[in-house]
A and B are shown apart, each in its own frame.
Chain A
Amino acid sequence: MQREAYWRGVRELLPAAPGVFAWGLVTGVAMVKSGLSIEYALIMTFLAYAGSAQLAALPLLVTVAPLWVVALTAIAVNLRFVVYSAAMLPHLRHLKPSARLGLGYLIGDIGFAKFSALLEREPDYPHRVAYFAGGASCNWVLWQASSVIGILAATAIPLEWGLALAGTLVLIPLLVPFCRDRPALGGVCVASIVAVVGHDWPLRLGLVAGILAGMLTALSLERLTARERAP
């Protein structure tokens, strides 16, 4: 049954594969084009496995910015993962520390979205951890394969075709199923507006500010609706 759930996770992530692949390619190309050598680009993608943090750190590495700035930037860009892992904590609490560490390493935007979508549909699905492991490890393979191709074939891949857009568009079908009620829609609107307004804030803090503002909005709307319905 565990095995079945694992492969179900893989299968349900696959429709997002073209987007993941395009985004990995773009990141690989960007790493090499910014001036990082092929060896270091490969080391970085396999160790860090954090696309947005890698991209944010690149200009810092190339200009030899102070190391604390590099670390601070990587932490800030990854702050949304703290929110994701908080949401996943209740489902992973019972596992061994090594399993929690490994599953944490596999957390990404798409894997987390698929896991959450499953829990919305089937809150009591018993093999949810295996399902997550399947989707997230599939995402890992797709991402690393495409990053390596991007790194090795950087000069041959034309970025002007809008490849990066494919990585963005794939988020739309992931987002739509979550917009099922007023609180969620309100949260999505506020998260979008704050993220756009905060786009130029340092350390990509507009992103995590948008997420938190959206969550607060959704929560407030949920409470308001509950109060209206109460007798």
Chain B
Amino acid sequence: MAAESIPFIILSTLFINNFVFSMFLGLCPFLGVSAKLNTAWPMGVATTFVMWISSLSAYLLNRALVAADLEQLRLIAYIAVIASAVQLVEMAMKKLSPTLFRALGIYLPLITTNCAVLGVALFQTTREYSFLQSMAFSLSAGAGFTLALLLMAGLRERLDLVNVPKVAQGSALSLLLAGLLSLSFMGFAGLGG
């Protein structure tokens, strides 16, 4: 797996194996913050940033842990790094844009428990990506997550204006919608060989 070229990794994580639609990672914020376009966008960027930071640190940490023969601590070390990165983003956002900070609410600290972030760190370790491959992987995973969030938010903004049967309101409808989006993303399968 380590021989994958950078463009292939980008194409693959962005579309073919999109984190949300075909790997089922990061579904909580995907269903949670996708109600409005103007919160979906910053959420996507914040998550991408955290993914990139944690991928970078996970790469260095993994080398250190392997060198010290302490691989059983990998999971604990990764999650500690992610939690710190989220704290950093939270502090920055509180300072730079308090309105946005309030709009994202509980979902900002919850980036820590976004499985997509830990997923990036774990997958790059099991696939033995090199440094450049890891960077490409984490950035395109974040971009793919943002893409999914924006698509869903666009659809849900339209849905607010439509008269939906009472039984289907809320989460049931979002899930069916996500299913349709996921179905259309399956069309990318086989792209790039």
Chain A complexes with chain B = no
